Structure 1
Amino acid sequence: MALDVEGLSDPFQFPSDEALRDLDQREQVQSLLDWFFHNFEDPGQSTPYDGAEGGYQYIWGGPHDAREQLEGRFGGSIDEAIIDEAVNQIERRGVDWVPSNIRIVNVPEEDENEVALDRNALTLNGEVLTLDGEVLTIGEEGPNSPEEAAANVAASLQIFEAAVDALGSSPGIGHNKPPEAISDPALTPEDVAQTKAAIEALKEEISASTPSPSGLQGLRGQIASVAKKVRDWLVRNVNVAITGGVGGIAAAAGHDAYSWAVNKLFPQQHQFLEAAIRLAHDIGHWIALLPPLF
């Protein structure tokens, strides 16, 4: 799922244009205010803010001008003086406006290519992933030979190694300054060192004339273990980001804020997790195609 913005709409039981013209001036102004604040809100309510990038990040459109929006909806159907008064009252509160939170909705994607995280589940490319102890599983047809499987592992390992390096130098949260509660790293320096050792051991298995299924299983377990640790870190800290309003996303909690925060606030951790899952998955296929050692 992804977030998108619905179009403008009238509030529930909003009067028709004909009925609106029959109201007195005070009621007409109030109706325009009701309509505007149904469709728009101050960016401080739920728009991500990044001081390093110049301020509010208008990911859902805007900033919008109140007069332009009211004239677009009511121009020609109501007296211009009523619009003027509504604009004056709106601009006493602010001059920049964004789509209201009720217009931010979930929409399905035909080709979903991101890690999506909620409170209880993790998906990659639309498929449910499970962490069974230290074993990750994903439903997908695998390679047909040990050589093909080894090549897949080598390719995934290259991506994973880059993700480890990025995560090792990553701050707690994107470009935003994190609050104290989420300034802890997803992996400790010891975790990173052990993971890099596992990477070197896996390179040796790839180059070996007779790879060890048991050795590969142990390395797969190590990678799955750090993947689970980063997954748990994401769940914990996405909760902190939402409840603490980091990046202005608190109000979006009902609109797939988990996936948004994972992909936007924690890109290095997200990329690490995706790469670790893929690598563990490919190692599993390789193990299944190797003959057992007696």
Structure 2
Amino acid sequence: MAARYYSPDDPENYVTSSRLKRFARTKQIEYMVHWFRGMFEDPQNEMPYADKEDPGDSPYRYPWGGPYDADEQLQDEFSDIVPFEVIQEAVLEVQSDGTIEWAPGPNHPDQIAARDGAMAEHYNEPPFTGLRRYSAADRKRRRSRLWRSV
């Protein structure tokens, strides 16, 4: 399936990469920034803080993937569609608030995989009913005792 890119002005309709290629520079930047903000978010929104004893290179831990670099991610997604200079303008726009490390957002494949894995893990366990589970033989014995007592 061809990539689809949505506009912040019209989330119902999308454009394909071939159409995005023909857009004006400002419209291309708008679509790239919107795509990026839909896929990634500031790590302070959802990521847990790193351990104080072993902080590593970042103040956050990234259990669902990351940290991601805006330049690298935008280049990976749009380098075959949009000129390098336009991508660099989108990178500047994305990083204009000072954030340079990014975490996967709710629509990112890493987050979706983590959610799907958690759901599968949750639903593969038998639900707790608080009742004793009887085998077929136990149920048969219990029924026969009930009939004899009547």
TM-score band w.r.t. shorter chain = 0.5 to 0.7
Q: How many residues matched?
A: 118
8 Å Cα contact 2:33-2:90 kept in structure 1: yes
Indicate the residue corresponding to 1:33 in structure 2: 33
Q: Name 1:107's counterpart in structure 2.
A: 116
For the residues of structure 2 that align with 1:139 and 1:56, how far apart are their CA atoms?
45
CA distance in 2, matches of 1:29, 1:129: 51
The percent identity for this pair of structures is 26
- 1:18 paired residue number: 18
Question: Which runs of 5 or more residues in structure 1 are unaligned?
Answer: 1-7, 117-122, 132-136, 142-294
- Counterparts of 1:66-77 in structure 2, within 5 Å, are 66-77=70-81
Q: Which residue of 2 aligns with 1:43?
A: 43
C-alpha distance in 2 between matches for 1:75 and 1:58: 26
User: 1:92 maps to which residue?
Assistant: 96
Amino acid aligned to 1:83:
I
Root mean square deviation of aligned Cα: 2.8
Change (3 A) 1:88 1:129: same
| Residue pair 1:39, 1:100 contacting (<8 A) in 2 also | yes
Instruction: Check conservation: 2:5, 2:31, Cα contact below 8 A.
Output: no
Structure 2 unaligned residues grouped into runs of 5+: 136-150
Deviation, structure 1 residue 46:
1.0
Alpha-carbon displacement from aligned partner over 1:137-166 (angstroms, at most 9, x marks no partner):
46486xxxxxxxxxxxxxxxxxxxxxxxxx
CA deviations over 1:186-205 (Å, ceiling 9, x no partner): xxxxxxxxxxxxxxxxxxxx
| Distance in 1 separating the partners of 2:61 and 2:102 | 12
Separation in 2, partners of 1:80, 1:39: 20
User: Normalization by structure 2: what TM-score?
Assistant: 0.65
What are the equivalent positions in structure 2 for 1:259-278 lying under 5 Å apart? Answer: none
35, 40, 65: which one pairs with 2:69? 65
